[in-house]
């Protein structure tokens, strides 16, 4: 663990608590077979998913997409009325974590933004490599738009969102919907928390924060290798959004942690979005680590970031 003085004190304390909890289990490594690693990692992650705001209603359903019955969880912060919806793709390097590990974060965003949320349980890698998860995410958004009235959702106000690898899926889903000509007309925003944009391990933040700050450069290399099938996928803009033409994407909010290997690619991508004419807000949170917005119970900086996301959601969804 780095002794960098830039650490936020509450972030440091939370990281120390997580490390102490993890020390009671075998080390979690990104190596196959992944199920034993998933069991430990998900159990540890669930500590931050408990508590948080209560929802007026919670329901669960499935949408068929790309040959799979995809589980989705719908939270509504108020029971009546037609609500805009935030479709959430959880992080975890495409290889672990679940809609359950991210449930508190999603409920926090629903409350802060006044929106319904739909969490998507896409298939994990490497059992199903790119583009399976992406195809499922695209299919869920299409299906949700087509059936929105069943759940009291407004198909003209859909925001896509995700954290880390889920941010990658959110951008890729928006790009796929734009390119196939069968897009969702109501796509009104993209919310990305410390998104994975490119396998560029020589960026300034990768060099500066490679070890000692939670997410390591080595772990990100392993995630990319497990997600992509081959080197050809590294040239595909639906896998690597940094390679995409960005014009025509909806208004975007990118939230980054200062002490994170992914910070540089997020900053570069925000600049490219703006250059392409996309309205893009960018906020870097000082002293924070990758994944910090899951820690709203312990870290005031996480609560501030959720409030910022909520204000942005109110603006783009008209609530």
What is the model's pTM?
0.97
Residue 319 has pLDDT above 90, yes or no: no
What is the dotted CATH code of the domain comprising 9-317?
A: 3.40.50.1820
Domain boundaries, the chain: 9-317
Q: How confident is the model at residue 181 (pLDDT cuts 50, 70, 90)?
A: low
DSSP state letter for 251: P
CB contact burial 218-227 (16+ within 10 A = b; e otherwise) = ebbebbbebb
Model confidence pLDDT, tens digit, residues 205-229: 999 999 999 999 999 999 999 999 9
pLDDT for 27: 87
Report helix, strand or coil for 112. Answer: helix
| Two tokens, residue 287 | 């002293």
Model confidence pLDDT, tens digit, residues 223-272: 999 999 999 999 999 999 999 999 999 999 999 999 999 999 999 999 99
| Catalytic residue IDs | 164, 260, 290
Report helix, strand or coil for 33. Answer: coil
| Two tokens, residue 173 | 């889903």
Model confidence pLDDT, tens digit, residues 13-55: 999 999 999 999 988 888 888 999 999 999 999 999 999 999 9
pLDDT for 95: 97
Q: List residues bridging with 57 in a β-sheet.
A: 76
Average pLDDT, the chain: 95
Write the CB contacts of 57 (distance below 8 Å, at least 6 apart in sequence). 74, 75, 76, 79
Write down the H helix ranges in 147-183.
165-179
């Amino acid at each position: 663990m780095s002794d960098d003085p830039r650490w936020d004190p509450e972030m440091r304390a939370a990281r120390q608590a997580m490390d102490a909890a993890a020390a009671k289990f075998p080390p979690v490594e990104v190596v196959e077979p992944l199920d034993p690693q998933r069991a430990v990692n998900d159990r540890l992650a669930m500590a931050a998913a408990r508590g948080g705001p209560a929802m007026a209603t919670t329901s669960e359903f499935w949408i068929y997409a790309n040959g799979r019955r995809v589980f989705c969880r719908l939270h509504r912060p108020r029971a009546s009325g037609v609500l805009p919806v935030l479709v959430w793709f959880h992080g975890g390097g495409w290889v672990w974590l679940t809609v359950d590990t991210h449930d508190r974060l999603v409920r926090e965003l629903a409350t802060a933004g006044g929106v319904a949320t739909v969490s998507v349980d896409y298939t994990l890698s490497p059992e199903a490599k790119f583009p399976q998860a992406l195809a499922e995410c695209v299919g869920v958004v299409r299906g949700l738009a087509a059936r929105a009235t069943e759940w009291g959702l407004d198909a003209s106000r859909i925001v896509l969102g995700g954290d880390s690898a889920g941010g990658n899926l959110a951008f890729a889903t928006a790009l796929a919907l734009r390119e196939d000509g069968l897009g969702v007309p109501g796509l009104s925003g993209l919310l990305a928390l410390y998104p994975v944009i490119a396998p560029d391990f020589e960026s300034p933040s990768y060099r500066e924060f490679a070890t000692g700050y939670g997410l390591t450069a080595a772990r990100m290399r392993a995630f990319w290798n497990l997600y992509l099938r081959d080197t050809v996928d590294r040239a595909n803009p639906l896998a690597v959004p940094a390679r995409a033409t960005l014009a025509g994407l909806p208004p975007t909010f990118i939230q980054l942690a200062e002490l994170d290997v992914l910070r540089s690619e997020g900053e570069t991508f925000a600049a490219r979005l703006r250059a392409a004419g996309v309205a893009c807000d960018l906020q870097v949170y000082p002293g924070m680590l990758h994944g910090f917005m899951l820690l709203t119970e312990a870290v005031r900086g996480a609560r501030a970031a959720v409030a910022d996301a909520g204000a942005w959601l109110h603006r783009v969804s008209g609530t």
